[in-house]
Structure 1
Protein backbone atom coordinates (compact mmCIF):
# COMPACT_ATOMS: atom_id res chain seq x y z
CA UNK A 1 0.00 0.00 0.00
CA UNK A 2 2.80 2.41 0.87
CA UNK A 3 4.59 1.60 -2.39
CA UNK A 4 1.51 2.59 -4.40
CA UNK A 5 1.13 5.74 -2.31
CA UNK A 6 4.82 6.62 -2.74
CA UNK A 7 4.62 6.20 -6.53
CA UNK A 8 1.79 8.72 -6.89
CA UNK A 9 2.28 11.09 -3.95
CA UNK A 10 4.06 13.70 -6.09
CA UNK A 11 0.72 14.42 -7.79
CA UNK A 12 -0.49 16.02 -4.55
CA UNK A 13 1.78 18.98 -5.37
CA UNK A 14 -0.46 19.77 -8.35
CA UNK A 15 -3.38 20.10 -5.94
CA UNK A 16 -1.41 22.55 -3.81
CA UNK A 17 -0.82 20.01 -1.05
CA UNK A 18 2.49 19.15 0.57
CA UNK A 19 3.37 15.61 -0.61
CA UNK A 20 5.38 14.81 2.53
CA UNK A 21 2.54 15.82 4.86
CA UNK A 22 -0.05 13.98 2.77
CA UNK A 23 2.09 10.83 2.68
CA UNK A 24 2.46 10.94 6.45
CA UNK A 25 -1.25 11.54 7.12
CA UNK A 26 -2.35 8.77 4.75
CA UNK A 27 0.16 6.30 6.20
CA UNK A 28 -1.00 7.07 9.74
CA UNK A 29 -4.65 6.54 8.77
CA UNK A 30 -3.93 3.26 7.00
CA UNK A 31 -1.79 1.83 9.79
CA UNK A 32 -4.02 2.72 12.73
CA UNK A 33 -3.93 -0.34 15.01
CA UNK A 34 -1.06 -1.89 13.06
CA UNK A 35 1.19 -2.57 16.05
CA UNK A 36 -1.58 -4.30 18.00
CA UNK A 37 -2.18 -6.65 15.07
CA UNK A 38 1.57 -7.28 14.72
CA UNK A 39 1.87 -8.12 18.42
CA UNK A 40 -0.99 -10.62 18.17
CA UNK A 41 0.39 -12.23 15.00
CA UNK A 42 3.92 -12.51 16.40
CA UNK A 43 2.71 -14.01 19.68
CA UNK A 44 0.64 -16.57 17.78
CA UNK A 45 3.49 -17.49 15.44
CA UNK A 46 6.01 -17.82 18.26
CA UNK A 47 3.64 -20.02 20.25
CA UNK A 48 3.57 -22.47 17.31
CA UNK A 49 7.39 -22.75 16.98
CA UNK A 50 9.08 -25.87 18.23
CA UNK A 51 12.61 -25.79 19.73
CA UNK A 52 14.04 -27.45 16.61
CA UNK A 53 12.76 -24.58 14.46
CA UNK A 54 14.67 -21.97 16.46
CA UNK A 55 17.89 -22.63 14.49
CA UNK A 56 16.48 -20.65 11.54
CA UNK A 57 13.49 -18.72 12.90
CA UNK A 58 12.99 -16.59 9.77
CA UNK A 59 12.63 -19.62 7.52
CA UNK A 60 10.37 -21.30 10.08
CA UNK A 61 8.09 -18.27 9.92
CA UNK A 62 8.16 -18.24 6.12
CA UNK A 63 10.06 -14.93 6.03
CA UNK A 64 12.74 -13.97 3.52
CA UNK A 65 15.09 -11.02 3.25
CA UNK A 66 13.90 -8.28 0.92
CA UNK A 67 15.35 -8.30 -2.58
CA UNK A 68 15.36 -4.51 -2.92
CA UNK A 69 15.22 -1.38 -0.83
CA UNK A 70 13.48 1.88 -1.69
CA UNK A 71 13.72 5.43 -0.47
CA UNK A 72 11.39 8.37 -0.78
CA UNK A 73 13.14 11.65 -1.47
CA UNK A 74 11.24 14.43 0.25
CA UNK A 75 12.82 17.15 -1.90
CA UNK A 76 12.17 15.37 -5.18
CA UNK A 77 9.22 17.21 -6.71
CA UNK A 78 9.13 16.78 -10.50
CA UNK A 79 6.65 19.65 -10.89
CA UNK A 80 8.47 22.16 -8.66
CA UNK A 81 6.73 24.39 -6.17
CA UNK A 82 3.74 26.56 -7.18
CA UNK A 83 5.80 29.77 -7.33
CA UNK A 84 8.41 28.08 -9.53
CA UNK A 85 5.72 26.77 -11.89
CA UNK A 86 4.19 30.27 -12.11
CA UNK A 87 7.59 31.84 -12.85
CA UNK A 88 8.29 29.28 -15.58
CA UNK A 89 4.89 29.98 -17.13
CA UNK A 90 5.54 33.74 -17.13
CA UNK A 91 8.98 33.22 -18.61
CA UNK A 92 7.55 31.02 -21.39
CA UNK A 93 4.79 33.58 -22.07
CA UNK A 94 7.30 36.45 -22.25
CA UNK A 95 9.57 34.47 -24.55
CA UNK A 96 6.68 33.69 -26.90
CA UNK A 97 5.36 37.24 -26.91
CA UNK A 98 8.57 39.23 -27.14
CA UNK A 99 10.76 36.95 -29.19
CA UNK A 100 11.94 38.31 -32.51
CA UNK A 101 10.39 36.39 -35.31
CA UNK A 102 11.90 36.34 -38.77
CA UNK A 103 9.58 37.65 -41.23
Structure 2
Protein backbone atom coordinates (compact mmCIF):
# COMPACT_ATOMS: atom_id res chain seq x y z
CA UNK A 1 0.00 0.00 0.00
CA UNK A 2 1.32 3.46 -0.90
CA UNK A 3 2.22 5.80 1.95
CA UNK A 4 -0.30 8.71 1.84
CA UNK A 5 2.47 11.11 2.84
CA UNK A 6 4.39 10.20 -0.33
CA UNK A 7 1.64 11.59 -2.58
CA UNK A 8 2.81 15.09 -1.64
CA UNK A 9 5.29 16.88 -3.91
CA UNK A 10 8.24 16.71 -1.52
CA UNK A 11 10.62 18.03 -4.20
CA UNK A 12 8.72 21.33 -4.07
CA UNK A 13 9.15 21.58 -0.30
CA UNK A 14 12.75 20.42 -0.47
CA UNK A 15 13.48 23.27 -2.89
CA UNK A 16 11.78 25.79 -0.58
CA UNK A 17 13.61 24.45 2.47
CA UNK A 18 17.01 24.50 0.78
CA UNK A 19 16.49 28.07 -0.44
CA UNK A 20 15.43 29.19 3.04
CA UNK A 21 18.42 27.39 4.57
CA UNK A 22 20.81 29.19 2.21
CA UNK A 23 19.19 32.53 3.03
CA UNK A 24 19.48 31.97 6.79
CA UNK A 25 23.09 30.82 6.46
CA UNK A 26 23.91 34.04 4.55
CA UNK A 27 22.23 36.13 7.25
CA UNK A 28 23.99 34.26 10.05
CA UNK A 29 27.32 34.78 8.31
CA UNK A 30 26.62 38.52 8.08
CA UNK A 31 25.57 38.63 11.74
CA UNK A 32 28.76 36.82 12.74
CA UNK A 33 30.79 39.29 10.69
CA UNK A 34 28.97 42.29 12.17
CA UNK A 35 29.46 40.99 15.72
CA UNK A 36 33.17 40.59 15.04
CA UNK A 37 33.78 44.15 13.86
CA UNK A 38 35.77 46.55 16.00
CA UNK A 39 33.77 48.72 18.36
CA UNK A 40 33.94 52.49 18.64
CA UNK A 41 36.16 54.15 21.24
CA UNK A 42 33.31 56.53 22.10
CA UNK A 43 31.43 55.25 25.16
CA UNK A 44 28.01 56.44 23.97
CA UNK A 45 28.52 54.74 20.61
CA UNK A 46 29.77 51.59 22.38
CA UNK A 47 26.54 51.46 24.40
CA UNK A 48 24.47 51.67 21.22
CA UNK A 49 26.68 49.08 19.53
CA UNK A 50 26.26 46.78 22.55
CA UNK A 51 22.47 47.04 22.28
CA UNK A 52 22.69 46.35 18.56
CA UNK A 53 24.90 43.32 19.23
CA UNK A 54 22.27 41.92 21.62
CA UNK A 55 19.63 42.23 18.91
CA UNK A 56 21.94 40.60 16.37
CA UNK A 57 22.67 37.74 18.78
CA UNK A 58 18.94 37.16 19.28
CA UNK A 59 18.39 37.15 15.51
CA UNK A 60 21.23 34.66 15.26
CA UNK A 61 19.65 32.37 17.86
CA UNK A 62 16.29 32.49 16.07
CA UNK A 63 18.02 31.74 12.77
CA UNK A 64 19.93 28.81 14.24
CA UNK A 65 16.69 27.37 15.68
CA UNK A 66 15.01 27.67 12.27
CA UNK A 67 18.02 25.97 10.64
CA UNK A 68 17.65 23.03 13.03
CA UNK A 69 13.97 22.79 12.06
CA UNK A 70 14.82 22.94 8.36
CA UNK A 71 17.50 20.25 8.72
CA UNK A 72 15.00 18.04 10.55
CA UNK A 73 12.42 18.60 7.78
CA UNK A 74 15.01 17.73 5.12
CA UNK A 75 15.80 14.55 7.07
CA UNK A 76 12.08 13.70 7.11
CA UNK A 77 11.98 14.18 3.32
CA UNK A 78 14.94 11.83 3.00
CA UNK A 79 13.26 9.29 5.30
CA UNK A 80 9.95 9.52 3.45
CA UNK A 81 8.02 10.81 6.45
CA UNK A 82 7.74 14.48 5.50
CA UNK A 83 4.19 15.76 5.77
CA UNK A 84 3.29 13.49 8.67
CA UNK A 85 3.02 14.91 12.18
CA UNK A 86 5.91 13.59 14.25
CA UNK A 87 3.62 13.26 17.26
CA UNK A 88 0.39 11.71 15.94
CA UNK A 89 1.49 10.64 12.42
CA UNK A 90 -1.56 12.31 10.88
CA UNK A 91 -1.01 14.23 7.62
CA UNK A 92 -0.07 17.88 8.06
CA UNK A 93 -2.41 19.96 5.86
CA UNK A 94 -0.76 21.53 2.81
CA UNK A 95 -1.90 24.99 3.94
CA UNK A 96 0.15 24.56 7.12
CA UNK A 97 3.19 23.23 5.24
CA UNK A 98 2.97 26.09 2.77
CA UNK A 99 2.98 28.56 5.68
CA UNK A 100 5.73 26.81 7.70
CA UNK A 101 7.43 24.19 5.52
CA UNK A 102 9.66 22.93 8.32
CA UNK A 103 6.85 22.33 10.82
CA UNK A 104 7.00 18.87 12.40
CA UNK A 105 3.47 19.07 13.85
CA UNK A 106 -0.11 19.20 12.65
CA UNK A 107 -2.02 22.21 14.03
CA UNK A 108 -3.65 20.14 16.80
CA UNK A 109 -0.34 18.77 18.10
CA UNK A 110 1.38 22.15 17.72
CA UNK A 111 -1.31 23.70 19.94
CA UNK A 112 -0.68 20.99 22.55
CA UNK A 113 3.12 21.32 22.27
Q: Same fold (TM over 0.5)?
A: no
Which structure would you say has the larger Rg?
Answer: 1
Bigger share in helix: 2
TM-score between both structures, scaled by the size of structure 2:
0.28
